[in-house]
Amino acid sequence: MKTVINHFIPKGKEGTYYTIPFEMPGDIDTAFVHYEYADGVVDLGIQEEERFLGWSGSNKKTISFGNQAEKGYLSSRLKAGTYYIMVGAYKIPEEGVTVTYTIDFIPKEEKWLSGDIHVHSTASDGQYDTYTLAQKAKSIGLDFLSITDHNNFSENFYLPHVDGVTMILGVEWTHYRGHMNIYGIKDPFDDFVLNSESEMEAFIQKVRARGAVVSVNHPKDRSCPYLWESQSYDLFEIWNGPMRPCNVKALQMWHELLCSGKRVPIVGGSDFHRSVHPVFLGHPITRVLAKSNTPEDIMAALLAGKSYVTCSRNGPAIDLRHEDGVLNITVANARGCTIRLMTNKGVGAQFRNQATISVDPSWDFAYVVVKSIRIKAISNPVYFN
């Protein structure tokens, strides 16, 4: 998609600033602006209706803004609507000058991204600061990371910038009756002094009202299980740290929730605190099919269940698709593993690497579990009713 604007600047405009409007289509990842003119000096900047996005003067003839922003321009989520080219008519020839602005719009395209959304820093009981954690995430090939310190969201106000790693706002609400990760808001709560079930429910509703996403953490962990009755959570951490019995029990709990009719997507996280075996950053990871690598699009894909959990960056990759009553399943990087299709009626099929399976009318949902000695990957479900 492209827009071309030919704009004439008369001599009388010299020494002034003004704007030229243009329309931003929907679902755009990044916009590139290239401009050309024959003589004089014309400066360039960009703004949207509500805020200034950046300025490059006459230093660059091509700039980008949006998700992949040029230096000097804010990285931001582009919204459909009116944007503005900022014109700085610095030096204009006597006869005036025509400036040609070419705006290329790069649409969002779904792509698989890998990340760890349960990690602790020195702001609570972790070994590394947030910048070091982001660098470590990049070094192992992660695309996104969430720092979720215990009852502490101070780091959200100055998260580091590391090229290629999206930082997702997070905090782990840590209560003696259970832990929850809260994503997407810098300061999701004012306090967490509560003890009763009703107070807990009110707390979660306030957090959600601020726009946050809530995930129940390690619900079957022996030392800090989830003991609340409330099921007011948006995501379910089915895999926490190394695969072990409490994660298997969490899988059973989630399966029962699905059978009861609750639709809650799964996620996984390392719960990494420090470099001590057997807990490693990025083990497991959540792999998500997102429209872009912005925090908003990653969270939207997680909430839509467009994701799966796998043991590591190089763990099994699950492709589960449903169309016209048929499931098409492909699992890569699963040598020596057994793959099971799980449904509300139990094991629907068992196979290796790939399968085409007709949906049984009695099935309400189906998901994939990849296992060797231990579970290696778990998909989110597809639903049939």
Q: Do 269 and 240 contact (CB within 8 A), yes or no?
A: yes
pLDDT of res. 192: 92
**Rg, C-alpha atoms of the chain:** 25
pLDDT of res. 147: 98
Mean pLDDT (whole number) for 8-12 = 98
Distance CA 291, CA 114 (A): 13
Q: pLDDT tens for residues 229-250?
A: 999 999 999 999 999 999 999 9
pLDDT at 225 over 90: yes
Q: With cut-offs at 50, 70 and 90, classify the pLDDT of residue 266.
A: very high
Q: pLDDT tens for residues 93-113?
A: 999 999 999 999 999 999 999
Which domains are present in the chain?
Answer: 2-107 (2.60.120.380), 111-314 (3.20.20.140)
Query: DSSP code of 78?
Result: -
Query: What is the DSSP pairing of strand 307-310 with strand 285-290?
Result: antiparallel
Distance CA 29, CA 380 (A): 26
Q: pLDDT tens for residues 253-263?
A: 999 999 999 99
Mean pLDDT (whole number) for 54-58 = 97
pLDDT of res. 151: 97
pLDDT at 50 over 90: no
Three-class secondary structure of residue 306 per DSSP:
coil
Three-class secondary structure of residue 200 per DSSP:
helix
Q: With cut-offs at 50, 70 and 90, classify the pLDDT of residue 264.
A: very high
Handedness of CA 155, 156, 157, 161 (dihedral sign): positive
Distance CA 253, CA 23 (A): 49
Mean pLDDT (whole number) for 335-345 = 96
pLDDT of res. 385: 82
Three-class secondary structure of residue 70 per DSSP:
coil
* Mean pLDDT value across the chain: 96
Q: Do 253 and 219 contact (CB within 8 A), yes or no?
A: yes
User: In degrees rounded to 5, what are phi and psi of residue 324?
Assistant: 55, 45
Q: Do 144 and 166 contact (CB within 8 A), yes or no?
A: yes
User: In degrees rounded to 5, what are phi and psi of residue 65?
Assistant: -145, 160
The secondary element (H helix, E strand) that includes residue 257 is helix 245-259
Mean pLDDT (whole number) for 182-197 = 95
